[in-house]
Structure 1
Amino acid sequence: MMTKVELKAYLTRIGIPDIQAPTKDYLFELHKAHVENLPWETVDIFAGKPASIDFGESVQLILNRRSGYCFHLNGAFSVLLRSLGYKVSLHRAGVQPHGTEPRVNSFHLGLIVNLANDRLEDESWIIDVGLGDMPYEPLRLHPGIYNQAPFVYKVVESSVVMNGWRLEHDPLGSFAGVDFAPAVVHDIKEFIPKHDHYSRSKDSPWINLFLIQHRHATGSNELRGCIWSKREISGVEKTEIKNKSQWLEVLGDIFGEHLVNYSKQERDELWKRVQIIHEDWKKSNGS
């Protein structure tokens, strides 16, 4: 649980002015603010200085004006929600990239919040602030189609784990979907080997990929190396970033990522490596 000072600092970090009772409306407000102000990113992994996914350290990461990926973001958000009085459960989950099969492999941390509605019946909500272009608002843990422009999401029964559920992404999204196991996980230990793989293994998809994403009310933004993609209802606009000052400006102004714990030399080295990988990619694609 957070101290009151940490709690207020976290809320300030995501642009929430005050502490309120743990209602459905406040849950929605918190979720939207979190995905708008804290991007999903591989910055620290790409830089070779991955942050711990210990819940307390993930909270401190955010309080110190940094961000992370699913384990950091959902982990810290679970602490925030519990500190505000919400009933939160943790679940093993697995992201399905396009062209692969569904899986529940603990490479993603899932969250469910259980609320009592006006009829004093339990309502369960899928909460996920750790998937970049995933839902802007919580989704009912109930089969259905949910339109959150510019994406449409589906909640269905999982085909890979008994009594589990699946969140299907829009076909235009960055991956196919996520499957969740129903059993409750009580701490972060289950996910530490997966984080170690993501952050240190030569086979990790993030070691050589500078990627940062965030969601907002009408779309999403992504910076993949030197390519900035803006998705809105009208479509996708892509911009090639050609110099360091523009790259840093997009990071700061669009994603709120100011690389506060990186020295000037480290920022220069990050840009040079991003640029080299981008040029190699252009050559391999005949650009």
Structure 2
Amino acid sequence: MTTEAAAQHTRPTDADMAAYLKRLGVERPQQPTVEALFALHRAQIERVAYENIDTYLGRPAGIDQLLSLRRIAAGHGGYCYQTNGALGLLLAALGFDVTRHYAGVHGTPEAEGARGNHLALTVRTGDQEWLVDAGLGDGIHEPLPLVTGTYRQGPSTFRMAPSTAEPGGWRFQHDPAGDFDHMEYDPAPADMTAFDSEHERLTTSPESGYLKTPVVARRDATTIDVLRGRILRHTDTDGTSEHELATPAAWFEALHDVFHLALPTLTADDRTDLWARVTRSHEAWLATRTT
């Protein structure tokens, strides 16, 4: 049995939990309360970046929940299957009522449905259900109630409404300035194996954006930072600014200082290769703009 296959059947140990909570900078809650849920979600969003660096380097990590939890505890980030997979496992181990959902992130209003390119989570506390999502990049900072309405978080305004494409599911409408249009999910519980084929496509297809451009995102209560290639975009309530990280020192410093990424598995050669790839991607992007 492979390491990943073995991990599929393993719950996080006390040491796993302690390491993950240390990465989040929070104490282990005594009870699965709504206050604890919000504290854990905020900490995850603020300290664990959305990122595709390993995939961009051609060595994607798997999506087993326990392996994702351990990678994040060690200093990595991840994309939705990994960040939400790890967070869902943590919450369940802490006694929260967690459901994984087959979901879809869409770039246009016309697209709809759960296409499987996203793993969403819902959590029930008492008589209230919440959208919990650490895999939306520049998305939510705190859980959103499954109640139709408009919600303001820092510089972003979101809307929640029942999905018309997935009866019983919900549609998260992103801020108009966000990196995608909306997300919606199937209400049925999903096993992690449901995402295997889409994970394979996203991490190996030459058409996948994850292989074309490195993307790193992190937000807190008032600000959003997104690094795409060599362009760092900062958004707060005063607006949005962009600047280029023109040297490897500035780029890796931003990964550490802005996005809290240690990336412990990257060797010196890996970093040289990564910067060369980033530069080629950036130059290709500049050429399209010039054209």
User: TM-score, normalising length from structure 2?
Assistant: 0.94
Helix, strand or coil at the partner of 1:285: helix
The count of residues paired between Structure 1 and Structure 2 equals 281
Give unpaired runs (5+ residues) of structure 1. 117-121
For 1:4 and 1:156, the matched residues in 2 are separated by 38
For 1:98 and 1:250, the matched residues in 2 are separated by 30
Q: Give 1:72 shift.
A: 0.2
**Residue in structure 2 matching 1:209, options 194, 213, 217:** 213
Say if 2:46 and 2:220, in contact at 8 Å, map to a contact too: yes
Helix, strand or coil at the partner of 1:73: helix
Give unpaired runs (5+ residues) of structure 2. 1-10
Change (3 A) 1:203 1:100: farther
Q: Is the counterpart of residue 139 in structure 1 residue 156 in structure 2?
A: no
Change (3 A) 1:69 1:161: same
Helix, strand or coil at the partner of 1:88: strand
For 2:154 and 2:29, the matched residues in 1 are separated by 29
For 1:159 and 1:177, the matched residues in 2 are separated by 13
Could you tell me which amino acid in structure 2 is paired with residue 6 of structure 1?
D
Q: CA RMSD in A?
A: 1.2
Q: Which residues of 2 match residues 1-287 of structure 1 at below 5 A?
A: 1-98=11-108, 101-116=111-126, 122-185=127-190, 187-286=191-290
Deviations 1:119-163 (A, max 9, x none): xxx210100011111110000011111111200110012121222
Q: Give 1:19 shift.
A: 3.2
Q: Give 1:61 shift.
A: 1.1
For 1:58 and 1:75, the matched residues in 2 are separated by 7
Could you tell me which amino acid in structure 2 is paired with residue 59 of structure 1?
L
Could you tell me which amino acid in structure 1 is paired with residue 46 of structure 2?
E
Percent identity over paired residues: 35
Point out 4+ residue stretches in structure 1 off by more than 4 angstroms: none
Q: Give 1:100 shift.
A: 5.2
For 2:30 and 2:239, the matched residues in 1 are separated by 37
Say if 1:112 and 1:125, in contact at 8 Å, map to a contact too: yes
For 2:113 and 2:232, the matched residues in 1 are separated by 29
Could you tell me which amino acid in structure 1 is paired with residue 164 of structure 2?
S
Q: Give 1:283 shift.
A: 2.1
Deviates more, 1:4-13 or 1:68-77: 4-13
Could you tell me which amino acid in structure 2 is paired with residue 252 of structure 1?
H
User: TM-score, normalising length from structure 1?
Assistant: 0.95
Change (3 A) 1:252 1:100: farther
Say if 1:93 and 1:178, in contact at 8 Å, map to a contact too: yes
Q: Give 1:193 shift.
A: 0.6
Deviations 1:166-210 (A, max 9, x none): 00001011111101111112x200001110011111121211111
For 1:131 and 1:247, the matched residues in 2 are separated by 22
